């Protein structure tokens, strides 16, 4: 099971959240915040961002309009690069990036021409997620034991995205003979491909997004969830008798890889601003974000939308990113080999 990194996450979760300075109270009056989503329309990141944006503005002094825009590309890294290098550093442009874009930067190295998460100011994350492998019921795949024995065609997007990196992680660390078909534009596109029978299923689909996008598959018995992937078991999936990937990864070296990759799920829906945003504006955004996460209206909307909410403050994520960036090079190199085709 997870070790030192997980213990560090638990310690970070106990840190206090600072209130927003009074000096920033009127900054946002009459302004618009551009909320740049580094993924495609209709996917899980879009659903989360729009749900959060509907309520976030009520908790920001001055009640600015929040406009969701999309900048897909490079598994979310394109939007991250725009936020950290190009966007105004005044708190009027924020972004939703993928954990995969953050992980890729930490594994592949950072430069002035690539997204560097250590150069982003983290506002918070809306969810601490679990990822799953799923197939359509009529494929004949009934369990992960079947996946270990037979060829299963898995739909995926591109490097840096969970459906790509987690599919290859499962393939390379468990020996499952997966055939990974890349190039799809997000989980909504993969779901359509599954319905058309172009592919059998997907690995690395966020459980909360799956329920929001394709929850009817479960109620109608049209899909099976075969394995859950996370630092700790998801209780809902445990009740569904969905085993953990830890059950199928035996070597110590491989378990270190799984731990490093799944650490990104602690910040499953991360929101960032440029690192140079004034402290007052950043504190305002962070405080308003956490207030939104505890807002009964937002939580009711999230439940209606079918998304899970388990937030973490941006300062805590910032500390976690710094620790992940210091991971031993030997583990980093093994991890890169595991998630790259």
Fold of domain 131-263: D-Maltodextrin-Binding Protein; domain 2 (3.40.190)
| 292, pLDDT greater than 80 | yes
Domain 4-128+264-339, architecture per CATH:
3-Layer(aba) Sandwich (3.40)
- pLDDT confidence of residue 250: 92
- In this prediction, residues 16-21 reach a mean pLDDT of 45
Q: Are 100 and 117 in contact (CB under 8 A)?
A: no
Query: Matching CATH topology for 4-128+264-339 and 131-263?
Result: yes
**Nearest alpha-carbon partner for 338 in 38, 4, 102, 103:** 103
Predicted local distance difference test score (pLDDT) of residue 24: 57
- Report the pLDDT value the prediction gives residue 10, as an integer from 0 to 100: 35
What residue spans define the domains of the chain?
4-128+264-339, 131-263
- Sign of the Cα pseudo-torsion (339, 226, 2, 44, in order): positive
CB atoms within 10 A of CB 238: 12
Query: Residue 228 corresponds to which tokens in the numbers above?
Result: 């859950």
pLDDT digits (tens, 9 = 90+) for 76-121: 899 999 999 999 999 999 999 998 899 888 888 777 788 999 999 9
Mean pLDDT of the chain: 90
Higher pLDDT, 23 or 279: 279
pLDDT tens digits for 269-290?
Answer: 999 999 999 999 999 999 999 9
| Percent of the chain clearing pLDDT 90 (strictly above) | 75
Q: What does the pLDDT average to over 316-327?
A: 90
CA distance 295 to 308: 14
Question: Which tokens in the block code for residue 19?
Answer: 């209130």
């Amino acid at each position: 099971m997870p070790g030192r990194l997980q213990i560090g996450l638990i310690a970070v979760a106990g840190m206090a959240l600072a209130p927003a300075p009074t000096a920033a109270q009127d900054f946002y009056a009459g302004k618009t915040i551009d909320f740049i989503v580094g993924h495609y329309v209709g996917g899980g990141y879009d659903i989360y961002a729009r749900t959060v944006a509907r309520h976030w503005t009520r908790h920001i002094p001055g009640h600015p309009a929040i406009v969701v825009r999309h900048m897909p590309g490079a598994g979310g890294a394109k939007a991250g690069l725009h936020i950290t290098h190009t966007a105004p550093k005044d708190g009027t442009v924020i972004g939703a990036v993928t954990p995969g874009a953050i992980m890729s930067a930490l594994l592949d190295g950072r430069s002035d021409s690539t997204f560097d998460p250590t150069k982003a100011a983290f506002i918070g994350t809306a969810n601490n997620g679990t990822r799953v492998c799923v197939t359509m019921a009529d494929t004949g795949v009934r369990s992960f034991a079947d996946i270990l024995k037979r060829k299963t065609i898995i739909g995926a997007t591109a490097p840096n995205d969970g459906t790509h990196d987690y599919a290859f992680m499962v393939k390379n660390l468990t020996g499952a003979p997966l055939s990974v078909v890349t190039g799809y534009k997000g989980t909504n596109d993969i779901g359509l491909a599954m319905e058309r029978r172009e592919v059998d299923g997907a690995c690395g689909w966020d459980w909360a997004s799956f329920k929001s996008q394709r929850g009817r598959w479960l109620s109608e018995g049209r899909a099976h969830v075969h394995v859950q992937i996370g630092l700790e078991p998801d209780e809902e999936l445990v009740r569904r008798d969905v085993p953990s990937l830890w059950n199928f990864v035996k070597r110590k070296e491989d378990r270190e890889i799984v731990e490093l990759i799944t650490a990104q799920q602690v910040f499953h829906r991360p929101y960032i601003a440029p690192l140079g945003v004034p402290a007052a504006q950043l504190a305002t955004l962070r405080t308003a974000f956490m207030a939104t996460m505890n807002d009964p209206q937002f939580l009711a909307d999230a439940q209606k939308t079918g998304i899970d909410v388990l937030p973490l403050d941006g300062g805590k994520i910032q500390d976690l990113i710094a620790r992940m960036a210091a991971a031993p090079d030997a583990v980093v190199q093994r991890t890169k080999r595991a998630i790259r085709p």
